[in-house]
């Protein structure tokens, strides 16, 4: 049974829908949340909207995962209070995955919830972070430990923002698209051949639809939605480790590493080999294995101190809540490392 409907609007249609929303909403105050990279998108964005409040206020945070913290959240709450934001205020999140996650969390908690709109500017945010109503911040060095479920009033996906994306950020979004293809079975292995120079709007639409279809069946992740965590159990652990080491990597690149492990645990050797042809497994130092296992134990989906993985019976057939013990995990990690050296 469908529990919620989630609609994303693209390009010119998206701006038209958003402009109609702004006209009807008549927010008491409008705020646009950006980081120092996406602040340059404000002019292009605002020029598309005749009914955007001309007196909107800009909230800017530093770029990077470090801004997904309770300290930054407190600063944003304080700014909203200082600028007189009431429950009829509107927050527009204009940025990548960090801005979408952070802004959604701030909006869902300020005065028990104000309206917010997602305008993703990165490929990752377009196919993942802006979709599904999950909000989140990091806590004590671990990814997305604090968060809520709260749907945006609108999602506008404008591929024109992708032209200035760095190669790393493009790969990050591509990683989530690869995950969706493994879950659904569509476009595999053609999805691996996408490049930043291509017009991939149709592929983005399909990827968004795959995630939206899953979320609409299980908004609060009581069961089926867990399939979207394919690659994320180890991916989040790897991402947290890299952040702790002072060498942060984009979320989707960590997910690619997690997909390798999930495919190895699933004994899907051919799929893992195909993935390696595009994005090889990154060698993991054995000194880091204990910390990585500990990071995985903090995963929100775990039960009874076992690590629960999403695995694949075959392409397009994921299974959830698969307990993996440390020996099986370690064997797969070492095997993947051996393949790199082999």
Crossing angle of helices 289-297 and 232-244, in 10° steps, is 120
- On average, the pLDDT of the chain sits at 94
pTM of the predicted structure, to 2 decimals: 0.92
312 or 340, which is more confident?
312
Q: How far apart are CA 246 and CA 226, in angstroms?
A: 30
Q: Where are the domains of the chain?
A: 9-165, 169-341
Q: Lowest mean pLDDT: which of 3-17, 172-186, 288-302?
A: 3-17
- CATH superfamily ID and name for 169-341: Dehydroquinate synthase-like - alpha domain (1.20.1090.10)
In the prediction, which pLDDT does 127 show? 96
Largest CA distance in the chain: 62
Residue 3's pLDDT band, with cuts at 50, 70 and 90, is very low
Q: How far apart are CA 162 and CA 63, in angstroms?
A: 17
Alpha helices in the chain (DSSP H): 11-25, 42-46, 70-82, 97-109, 123-124, 167-184, 201-217, 232-244, 251-265, 269-278, 289-297, 326-341
Q: How far apart are CA 76 and CA 31, in angstroms?
A: 11
The DSSP-derived string for 71-108 is HHHHHHHHHHHHTT--TT-EEEEEESHHHHHHHHHHHH
Architecture of domain 9-165: 3-Layer(aba) Sandwich (3.40)
In the prediction, which pLDDT does 67 show? 97
- Cα–Cα distance list, 48 to 13, 42, 122, 126, 130 (Å): 11, 10, 18, 18, 20
In the prediction, which pLDDT does 304 show? 64
In the prediction, which pLDDT does 306 show? 73
Q: How far apart are CA 137 and CA 310, in angstroms?
A: 22
In the prediction, which pLDDT does 143 show? 86
Residues in the chain: 342
In the prediction, which pLDDT does 7 show? 80
């Amino acid at each position: 049974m469908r529990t919620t409907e989630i609609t994303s609007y693209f390009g010119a249609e998206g701006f038209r829908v958003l402009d109609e929303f702004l006209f009807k909403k008549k927010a008491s105050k409008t705020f646009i949340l950006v980081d120092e990279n996406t602040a340059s998108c404000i002019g292009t964005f605002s020029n598309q909207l005749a009914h955007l409040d001309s007196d909107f206020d800009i909230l800017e945070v530093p770029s990077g995962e470090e801004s997904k913290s309770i300290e930054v959240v407190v600063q944003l709450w304080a700014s909203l209070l200082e600028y007189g934001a009431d429950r009829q205020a509107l927050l527009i999140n204009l940025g990548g995955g960090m801005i979408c996650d952070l802004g959604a969390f701030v909006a869902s908690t300020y005065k028990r919830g104000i309206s917010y709109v997602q305008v993703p500017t990165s490929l990752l945010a377009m196919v993942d972070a802006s979709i599904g109503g999950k909000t989140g911040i990091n806590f004590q060095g671990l990814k997305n430990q604090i968060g809520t479920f709260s749907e945006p009033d609108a999602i506008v996906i404008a591929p024109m923002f992708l032209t200035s994306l760095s190669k790393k950020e493009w790969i990050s979004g591509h990683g989530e698209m690869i995950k969706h293809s493994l879950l659904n079975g569509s476009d595999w292995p053609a999805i691996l051949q996408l490049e930043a120079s291509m017009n991939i709007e149709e592929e983005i639409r399909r990827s968004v639809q795959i995630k939206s279809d899953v979320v609409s069946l299980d908004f609060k992740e009581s069961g089926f939605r867990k399939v979207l965590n394919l690659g994320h159990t180890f991916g989040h652990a790897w991402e947290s480790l890299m952040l702790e080491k002072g060498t942060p990597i984009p979320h989707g690149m960590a997910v690619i590493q997690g997909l390798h492990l999930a495919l190895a645990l699933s004994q899907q050797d051919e799929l893992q080999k195909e993935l390696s042809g595009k994005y090889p497994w990154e060698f993991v130092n054995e000194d880091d294995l204990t910390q990585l296992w500990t990071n995985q134990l903090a995963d929100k989906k775990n039960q009874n101190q076992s690590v629960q993985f999403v695995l694949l019976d075959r392409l397009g057939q994921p299974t959830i809540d698969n307990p993996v013990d440390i020996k099986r995990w370690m064997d797969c990690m070492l095997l993947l490392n051996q393949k790199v050296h082999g």
